[in-house]
């Protein structure tokens, strides 16, 4: 008999993110014929009110995928749930830290959903790219200053001595600053995008926002959950 594995998704109230993640995982495993590994899926919230239904918005956006959340009822995270789970996937770093502070022995089976879905090595590689780009930007800025140090310092001195020409001098300095920005503009733009992808591993809480936020959250969860399921099934094969 195949050994049963239990996956636990965790957010705060268990009415939005983790409820959607649970339903998406079940849909992926069952409707796509992937549950040959005998995986059990559940969810809970660090601050959940027992038996609260899934939020209206969560139910609405999931129904668009033909996934029914009407019967979902919130569960509070308990020591028993943590102990029983073979894999715990959290929506944010705060949820992960909450579990590890509460149950240090769970270390090794608690991951951010995005972290687990993408794989630690891929995240580290992205963070390495961020660091490399940051260092390249700093190198280009240092070289720019070295190449034009005389001009910049001369303009600074002129600013002090010729107060009557201050406006003109400031315009010249602004011109140099624009050149400096242009030097690493491409790298800076890429750095911002990579930092967002490499370090922002939380799934944002849509609670209290319009339904469009829930739809965005659902799509993000679908991508992450499916990746996590694929990785889990690869490990078991």
Q: Do residue 94 and residue 207 come from a single domain?
A: yes
pLDDT of residue 183: 85
Of 110, 114, 54, 43, give the one whose Cα is nearest residue 81.
43
Query: Are residue 210 and residue 173 in the same domain, yes or no?
Result: no
Same domain, 103 and 131: no
The model's pTM = 0.66
Q: Are residues 16 and 127 in the same domain?
A: no
Check residue 35 and give its pLDDT.
58
Do residue 91 and residue 128 come from a single domain?
Answer: no
Question: What is the model's pLDDT at position 58?
Answer: 96
Contact present, 18 and 215 (Cβ < 8 Å): no
The reply to whether 126 and 60 lie within a common domain is no
154/147 Cα distance (integer angstroms): 13
Say how many domains are in the chain. 2
- Domain containing residue 24: CATH number: 3.40.50.2300
Closest CA to 37 of 1, 79, 2, 78: 2
Residue 10 shares a structural domain with residue 95: yes
- Do 166 and 88 lie in one domain? The reply is no
Q: For residues 230 and 140, state if they share a domain.
A: no
The one-digit pLDDT tens for each residue of the chain (237 residues) are 457 789 999 999 999 999 999 999 999 988 876 655 688 999 999 999 999 999 999 999 999 999 999 999 999 999 999 999 999 999 999 999 999 998 999 998 999 999 888 777 776 777 778 888 888 988 999 898 888 888 888 888 877 777 676 677 778 888 888 888 888 888 888 888 888 777 778 888 998 999 999 999 999 899 999 999 888 888 766
Which DSSP category does 76 fall into? B
pLDDT at 34: 60
Please tell me the predicted confidence (pLDDT) of residue 191.
85
Based on the fold, state whether residues 94 and 17 are members of the same structural domain. yes
Same-domain status, 61 and 174: no
β-strand 87-90 against 39-45: which pairing, if any? Answer: unpaired
| Six token digits for residue 45 | 């919230």
Query: Which residues span the domain enclosing 135?
Result: 122-199
pLDDT at residue 132, as a whole number: 85
Same-domain status, 210 and 178: no
User: How many whole angstroms separate alpha carbon 116 and alpha carbon 110?
Assistant: 9
Q: What gap in Å lies between CA 99 and CA 90, rounded to an integer?
A: 9
97 CB neighbour count, 10 Å cutoff: 12
pLDDT of residue 1: 47
The pLDDT, as a whole number, for residue 42 is 96
Q: What is the pLDDT of residue 186?
A: 86
């Amino acid at each position: 008999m195949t050994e049963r594995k239990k996956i636990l998704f965790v957010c705060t109230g268990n009415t939005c993110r983790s409820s959607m993640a649970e339903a998406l995982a079940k849909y992926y495993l069952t409707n796509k014929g992937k549950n040959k590994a005998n995986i059990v899926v559940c969810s809970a919230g660090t601050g959940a009110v027992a038996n609260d239904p899934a939020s209206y918005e969560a139910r609405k956006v999931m129904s668009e995928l033909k996934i029914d959340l009407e019967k979902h009822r919130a569960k509070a995270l308990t020591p028993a749930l943590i102990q029983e789970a073979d894999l715990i996937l959290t929506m944010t770093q705060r949820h992960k830290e909450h579990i590890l502070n509460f149950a240090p022995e769970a270390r090794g089976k608690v991951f951010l959903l995005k972290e687990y879905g993408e794989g630690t090595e891929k995240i580290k590689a992205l963070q390495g790219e961020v660091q490399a780009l940051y260092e390249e930007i700093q190198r280009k800025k240092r070289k720019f200053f070295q190449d034009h140090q005389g001009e910049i310092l001369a303009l600074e001195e002129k600013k002090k001595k010729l107060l009557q020409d201050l406006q003109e001098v400031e315009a010249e300095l602004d011109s140099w600053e624009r050149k400096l920005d242009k030097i690493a503009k491409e790298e800076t733009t890429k750095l911002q995008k990579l930092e967002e992808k490499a370090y922002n591993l939380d799934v944002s809480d849509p609670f209290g926002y319009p339904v469009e936020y829930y739809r965005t959250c659902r799509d993000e969860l679908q991508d992450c959950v499916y990746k996590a399921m694929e990785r889990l099934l690869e490990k078991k094969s």
